[in-house]
Amino acid sequence: MHKKILLFNIFVLLYNIAIAQETYEAGTLPKLNASASISELWEVNFKAESQLIFSRGEFGGGSGVRQFNHNRTELALGLERKTSYNTAITGGYLLRMDERKPSHRLFQQFSLVRQYGSFNLSHRFASDQTFSIGRGNEYRIRYRVSTSLPLNGEKIDLKETYLKFSHEYLGSLLKRNTALEIRNLAALGYVTGTKNKIEGGFSYRAEKVFQSITNSEFWIYLAFYFDLDK
């Protein structure tokens, strides 16, 4: 399964470089996520995520620009309802701020987490609708598979490190134009003594896959997950 995903990503990257006109962006992706339970079934989740670009340009001779540039910041608030001990549905609102006017997004998702021996496997099915003045409304559907596995022992305990991988497909519709985006992440995580998690790693995103002009994004990923239920 993992081999197939890796091979597919290499194929997408090679296709983009060889056939399509390829632009790129590289930067860092800091993210903060905090959750707090309201009751046994309900939980509030807050997310803040920014994109800081260090370099952007075109592969194959195009001139690249190395410049510190804040691309965007997103703030999201979601309400989660647990539908079982390992499944949940979430709905929420996201505010996106960039150099243009703010965008407003509604999102919905269903998640399922299963444990297979020492690793956890999560499936996330999501949809969102983004409304912004001057850019048109965008509708997306998403599927993400994520896994985490401990580097010591058979489960991820407090004060332990772990590996995390995720792979996601995003289909979007904007002004009657459809597009496919693929996101990958490989990260090293650490659980603090207070159940919070810190993750650092690399993310590769291929935008407008199989189109004439594609975009590759290379991110240094840094995330903090706060569990406010101690």
Partner 1 sequence: MASQRFFLKTLLFLLFLSFCALSAAGQVKYEKEIRIDMNQVPEKALNFIKNSGIDSKVKWHKELNIDNTSIEAKTTFQSTKYSIEFDTLGNLQDVEFIINFQDLPDKTQAKIEKQFDSLFSRYKIIKTQTQFSGPPQIIQQLLKDTKPSDDYITRYEIVMGGKEKKIMRKFEILTNESGEILQRNRIRPKNMDNLIY
- CB of 215 within 8 A of CB of 184? no
- In the complex with partner 1, which residue's Cβ is closer, 45 or 211? 45
The least distance separating partner 1 from the CB of residue 91, rounded to whole angstroms, comes to 13
- In the complex with partner 1, which residue's Cβ is closer, 7 or 41? 41
- Strand 161-174, strand 177-191: pairing: antiparallel
The least distance separating partner 1 from the CB of residue 210, rounded to whole angstroms, comes to 28
The least distance separating partner 1 from the CB of residue 202, rounded to whole angstroms, comes to 16
Residue 5: other Cβ atoms inside 10 A: 14
The DSSP letter of residue 38 is S
Residue 160: other Cβ atoms inside 10 A: 14
The least distance separating partner 1 from the CB of residue 171, rounded to whole angstroms, comes to 20
- Strand 21-37, strand 213-227: pairing: parallel
| Closest C-alpha to 72, from 28, 33, 113, 114 | 28
- In the complex with partner 1, which residue's Cβ is closer, 20 or 170? 170
- In the complex with partner 1, which residue's Cβ is closer, 58 or 160? 160
Alpha carbon separation from 216 to 23, 137, 157 (Å, rounded): 6, 23, 35
- CB of 83 within 8 A of CB of 89? yes
Positions in the binding site for partner 1 (CB under 8 A): 30-33, 35, 40-41, 45, 47-48, 50, 52, 68-70, 73, 78, 82-86, 88, 90, 97-99, 109, 111, 113, 120, 122, 124, 146-148, 152-155, 157-160, 164, 166, 189, 192-199, 223-227, 229-230
Question: What are the residue ranges of helices labelled H in the chain?
Answer: 2-18
- In the complex with partner 1, which residue's Cβ is closer, 38 or 41? 41
Residue whose structure tokens are 């709905």: 91
The least distance separating partner 1 from the CB of residue 13, rounded to whole angstroms, comes to 25
The least distance separating partner 1 from the CB of residue 5, rounded to whole angstroms, comes to 16
- In the complex with partner 1, which residue's Cβ is closer, 4 or 68? 68
